[in-house]
Copies of this chain bind each other. A is one copy, B any other.
C-alpha cells in the first residue's frame, strides 16, 4: 500500500477492512468484527457487544439538541445494534469526555437520557470513564444476549426484505435543522432522539429472519452491507414505502423528493431484515423488497440516483 495513503483516501469502510485484516479469530469469538455486534463466549454462555463513538459537531450539536436527547440518542445507537442481532441489551458503558466549562447540570441531564433509553430495553448503565477534551466525546458500549444471533450474512435469493421502525424521519429532521428550520417538530425530534423498534429485533430472530442490520447510515447503505455480506443483490420496490407526513412536509419545504430521506436518511435506527418468502410478517414489519442473485442494491430494478449514505472522512 502507498505509505502516504491517508484514512480519508481510503474511506471509512475500507479502513475497517484494513483493521480487521490485522485481527485473528479466537476461540472465544463466536462472531467477530463486521456485524452489528460481536458475540463472545463465556464459560457457560455468551454475550453480545457493540461500541459506538459519537463526537460533538459530527454526530450531534449542542445548539440543535438538549443534553437529555443527546444521551438518549447515544444510548440508542448502541442498543439498536444489540437489537439488530436479534438480542436484548442488558448493560451499557459510557466513556465521556468534555470541556471543563460544561455545566454539571448538562452531564446530569445527559445521564438521565442514557438511563431513560436503557429503561426501554431493561438495560442498566454499569460503568464508564470520564476525561477532559475540547469537544464532547461519547463512547457507548452496549452489551446483551441473543439465543440465536442474526447475522448480516444469511440473506438468500428469494427472501423478502422488510423493515421495522421509522425511515426518513431523522434524515428529514436533520435536513430541516441544517437549513435553519426548527420544524416540523416530529421530524426534528426524530433527529434529536430516535425511536428504534427494539422489540422487533428479537421478534425477527424468533420468526427466522435470515439476516438483519440496523439502519444507521441509510436504508440503501445498510441493505448494501447485508447484500455484500450475503453475496446477494437486493431490490426495493419504491411503491411499498408510505411517506410519513413530517417527511413529506420537509421534502416539500426543501424541494427534495421525500423518498430520498426514506432510502438514504440515517439515524432513525430502523431495522432491515430478510425473511423466507413463506414467513408471515408481524405488523411491525413491512415488506419492501426482494433478495436476488447478484450484487448491490437497486430500487425498482435500477441503481438509485439519490445522494449516497453517510460515510465518515468523505
Contact = CB atoms under 8 A, between A and B. Distances in A.
| Prevailing SS type, chain A contact patch | mixed
B128 A51 contact: yes
A111 B15 CA distance: 11
A95 interface: yes
A110 B33 CA distance: 17
A313 B103 CA distance: 13
Interface string A1-30: 101111111101001101100111110110
Contact of A47 (B42, B102, B123, B130): B42
A127 interface: yes
A55 B129 CA distance: 12
Interface in A106-151: 107-108, 111-112, 115, 122-135, 137, 139, 141, 143, 145
Contacts of A10: 104
Interface stretch (A86-94, A205-213, A239-247): A86-94
Contacts of A139: 51, 53, 95, 137, 139, 141
Contact of A6 (B4, B51, B103, B145): B103
B53 A95 contact: yes
A38 B95 contact: no
Nearest to A124: B26
A100 to B, nearest CB: 3
B1 A104 contact: yes
Contact of A111 (B19, B38, B102): B19
A50 B224 CA distance: 33
Given A29-B124, A42-B145, A100-B7, A132 B312 contact: yes
Interface in A52-108: 52-55, 58-59, 90-91, 93-105, 107-108
A219 interface: no
A115 B189 CA distance: 41
Given A23-B115, A93-B51, A112-B22, A15 B104 contact: yes
Contacts of A24: 115, 124
A43 interface: yes
Contacts of A26: 90, 122-124
A22 B111 contact: yes
Nearest to A127: B38
B15 A127 contact: no
A208 B211 CA distance: 47
Given A53-B96, A107-B19, A40 B126 contact: yes
7 contacts: A23-B115, A31-B126, A32-B126, A51-B139, A55-B132, A133-B137, A141-B141
